[in-house]
Structures are given as structure tokens and as C-alpha cells.
């Protein structure tokens, strides 16, 4: 029987649930919840069940669960939810599994599984070499070589962390809508913050892409993903594609590989 897969991407800020059709691997549901660390298994189930119901999916229809997580406590509770409420033993992605990609960094165990999964998805969907820019709590730049290996990358403070640090430390500055302004020269406090924070962040992304690309063999395809991907995707000629579902699609690929090995 082909599995009905629940793929779960646990980040520091948000947790993403995606369900994939057993026939063609099509994504039929995507939902997001905050990554609350003390949320118990029954609470996670209370969030998931109505989301499944909205897509006419019964919890008993799920036959496989795969998890990528950077938050150990949430990993534990969601794994318990899968085992006790869904009656499925989740697979938690880790470097010890045969993921089908070589991890070339100094200590492969240090690599976040989301970064590895993103590299797998980018390689499969867009080819090699590639750079994945993942805009989450942190912003990750992840490199896939032309041979299809994961070569490392860079980690920067996320957009929201940068913005909140500015607003909390400067008494006369305040929260504004995070959008790209029309001009770099702000003519009031709002547009000045938007220029410095949002346009400045785009400049950081482009600068890092330029430096990383210069160290790579071949011209990489640049894929941007994460919560604020759309904010930047259409405002830079250096970004080739925005793919908000890259991580869960990578989890699908990992699941398919592991099943094929059985």
C-alpha cells in the first residue's frame, strides 16, 4: 500500500504540517502552527485534527509520519502524538539515516535537518549547483555543489530578530509594517526603518549570495523559502525561484527513499 504521508517541519517559530496524496505525491494540505515548546501531545492533536477534517482527511487515513525538527522538546511531543493518537510511529530525520546526500561539513551531526532536507529538495526540483535561502527565525544559506553534495553555508539573524532588536533597543523607534519601500532614502521614520531593515536585509541576502556564488564551481540556481520569501523573491534578480513548500517536499523525498530501501 502507498503511504498517505504527514510531513512535519518543526522550526523555532512555526511548525508546518503537510499531507501528500498517496497516488501522485501531490500536496493536498498545508497548515501552520506556532512552535510552542510546552504544548503537549493531545494539544498538538487538537490542532491537527480539525485541519485534517477541513480537507476531509481522517486521522486514521494517515499511514506514515516524517518529522524534521530543530526543537527537541517539540520533537518528543509530536512523536508521542503520532504514536498514541495517529497510531503511526513517526520517522525523525537525522544524519544517521541514508538520506542520499553527502554532507561535507566538518561535523555532519551539527547540520540542522531542515538544512539537509532543503538541499535534497532543491537538488531534486531545480538541479545543481544550488543555494537555498531559508528565511526563518534565522536565515540560512545552504549550498548544494554541482555534484549534488551538501557543502555547508551561512547562518544570519532572521529578519524578525533583527527588526525586534532594533525596536526594543531604540526608544524613539516603533514597529512598522515590514515591506520593501519604494526608495532607499526614507523621508519619515516609517520608510527609514523599512529601508534600513527590509531593503538592508535584501542587500545582505544579495551580498551573501554574491560571495557564496564566487566560491562555488558553476552558476547556482538560487531558491528562497520560508515565511518571508515572497517579500524578497520578486525584488532581486539574483533570486531564481520562491518555493514556500521546499522543506516539506524534501521530507516527501526522504520518505520515498526510505520506503524504497525497505
Q: Among all residues, which ones are annotated catalytic?
A: 114
Cα(18)–Cα(6) distance, integer angstroms: 6
Residue 30, judged by CB atoms within 10 A of its CB (0-12, 13-18, 19+), counts as middle
Nearest to residue 209, comparing CAs of 185, 233, 229, 239?
239
Q: What angle do CA 26, 28, 34 make, to 5 degrees?
A: 125
Contact indicator for 152, 118 with CB cutoff of 8 Å:
no
Cis check: omega of the bond before 129, within 30 degrees of 0: yes
Nearest to residue 240, comparing CAs of 153, 131, 143?
131
Cα(156)–Cα(135) distance, integer angstroms: 10
Q: SS3 of 99, please?
A: coil
Amino acid at each position: 500500500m502507498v503511504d498517505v504521508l504527514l510531513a512535519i517541519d518543526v522550526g523555532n517559530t512555526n511548525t508546518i504540517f503537510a499531507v501528500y496524496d498517496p497516488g501522485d505525491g501531490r500536496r493536498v494540505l498545508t497548515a501552520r502552527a506556532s512552535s510552542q515548546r510546552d504544548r503537549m501531545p493531545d494539544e498538538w492533536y487538537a490542532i491537527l485534527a480539525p485541519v485534517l477534517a477541513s480537507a476531509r482527511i481522517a486521522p486514521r487515513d494517515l499511514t506514515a509520519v516524517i518529522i524534521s525538527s530543530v526543537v527537541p522538546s517539540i520533537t518528543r511531543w509530536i512523536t508521542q502524538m503520532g504514536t498514541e493518537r495517529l497510531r503511526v510511529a513517526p520517522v525523525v530525520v537525522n544524519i544517521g539515516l541514508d538520506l542520499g546526500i553527502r554532507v561535507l561539513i566538518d561535523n555532519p551531526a551539527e547540520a540542522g535537518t531542515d538544512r539537509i532536507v532543503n538541499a535534497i529538495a532543491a537538488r531534486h526540483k531545480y538541479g545543481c549547483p544550488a543555494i537555498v535561502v531559508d528565511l526563518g527565525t534565522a536565515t540560512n544559506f545552504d549550498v548544494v555543489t554541482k555534484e549534488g553534495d551538501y557543502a555547508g553555508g551561512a547562518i544570519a539573524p532572521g529578519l524578525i530578530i533583527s527588526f525586534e532588536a532594533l525596536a526594543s533597543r531604540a526608544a524613539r523607534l516603533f514597529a512598522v509594517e515590514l515591506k520593501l519601500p519604494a526608495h532607499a532614502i526614507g523621508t519619515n521614520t516609517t520608510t527609514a526603518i523599512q529601508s534600513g531593515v527590509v531593503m538592508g536585509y535584501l542587500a545582505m541576502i544579495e551580498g551573501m549570495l554574491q560571495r557564496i556564488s564566487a566560491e562555488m564551481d558553476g552558476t547556482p540556481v538560487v531558491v528562497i523559502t520560508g515565511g518571508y520569501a515572497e517579500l524578497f523573491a520578486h525584488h532581486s534578480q539574483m533570486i531564481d525561484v520562491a518555493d514556500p513548500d521546499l522543506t516539506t517536499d524534501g521530507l516527501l523525498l526522504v520518505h520515498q527513499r526510505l520506503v524504497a530501501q525497505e
